[in-house]
Structure 1
């Protein structure tokens, strides 16, 4: 393994080696748990594509193709953040919500989690989680905080409320 990871020649054809290992592992899990298999050539092709896409995404001048942007690097260390998430699954009878608050310029962290009656949709679950996190932060008398979520639909909905 030492040779495979550290002494690997710096040839362009071998730069996707770790991706190949990843796809082999995913194929193994698919075979064991879902009785699915991939063609070896598809495995190799996917590893190459993922390697190129990852390398392109790591360049600083690559354009952002998504509708939302990661603004963590724009927020200074003195700003408090609250990360919010809602979990919704069709087969479950409840929705799970959680938030993590990190005080700016400090190592203080607060968090909350709860399970409530099932929401109408995943977007409703995310929205309810945001509202609950806002209520909790307000109860803690915290007035300046940046809320963050992984739901691009919620970000769009909150950013452009006229739609």
Structure 2
């Protein structure tokens, strides 16, 4: 608790000095409590070894159908958020979406919204079997938990509505799975979510040109 609170104070201090954002002690404490709860949830349930060491080149092999979606959420302390997902079939782009949100409540809230976007679109596209990748280990652990009610006590309760919709969609689609991947293997979705948040930008597409330069680490082609 001490280390997480100190880290939260440091972030608030940097935001005040470099971004001219007002420090709110109560919000800093509330964010620290959410982080503590998230860490307890992660530590209580070890990551399955079968998904250790994933790389961007072998993500789709966990789905027999070849479909996989990568999602990510972005959040800042002004309650601005962004969510994005990218869906592929055997490495070929099927579609992607980036969506801005105002009055977001937490990073976990945005991660949940991003995953919900991906699953809803897979259902709309009538994809029967798909693996959904997210770099939110907390979210993956929660969805794998036997008791959603107990697990919810460790995360942002304001995400409840979106989280329950994710749970219902996963339960009603038996061949959907949610898997954790490291941030470095999720960079395209991560960068698209940041664009959605920082520019309050919405876009839905099915071809690469909008963000093809993300593959080389360049974001110059993203519309502002």
Normalising by structure 2, we get a TM-score of 0.38
Post-superposition CA distance 1:107-129 (Å, at most 9, x none): 23311111022321111110111
Aligned alpha-carbon RMSD (Å): 2.5
In the TM superposition, residue 67 of structure 1 has moved relative to its aligned partner by 3.2
Q: Which moved more, 1:74-83 or 1:120-129?
A: 74-83
Q: After TM superposition, which residue ranges in structure 1, 4 or more long, deviate above 3 angstroms?
A: 66-74
In the TM superposition, residue 152 of structure 1 has moved relative to its aligned partner by 0.5
Larger radius of gyration: 1
Which of the two has greater helix per residue? 2
Distance 1:73 1:159, change over 3 A: same
Equivalent pairs, count:
97
Specify every segment of 5 or more residues in structure 2 that has no aligned partner in the other structure, as ranges.
1-17, 19-45, 152-224
Normalising by structure 1, we get a TM-score of 0.51
Residue in 2 that maps onto 1:146: 131
Q: Pairwise mapping of residues 9-158 of structure 1 onto structure 2 (< 5 A)? A: 67=47, 69-70=51-52, 72=59, 75=62, 78-91=65-78, 93-104=79-90, 107-158=92-143
Structure showing greater relative contact order (alpha-carbon pairs closer than 8 Å, 6 or more residues apart): 2
Instruction: Quote the Cα distance in structure 2 between the aligned partners of 1:141 and 1:80.
Output: 11
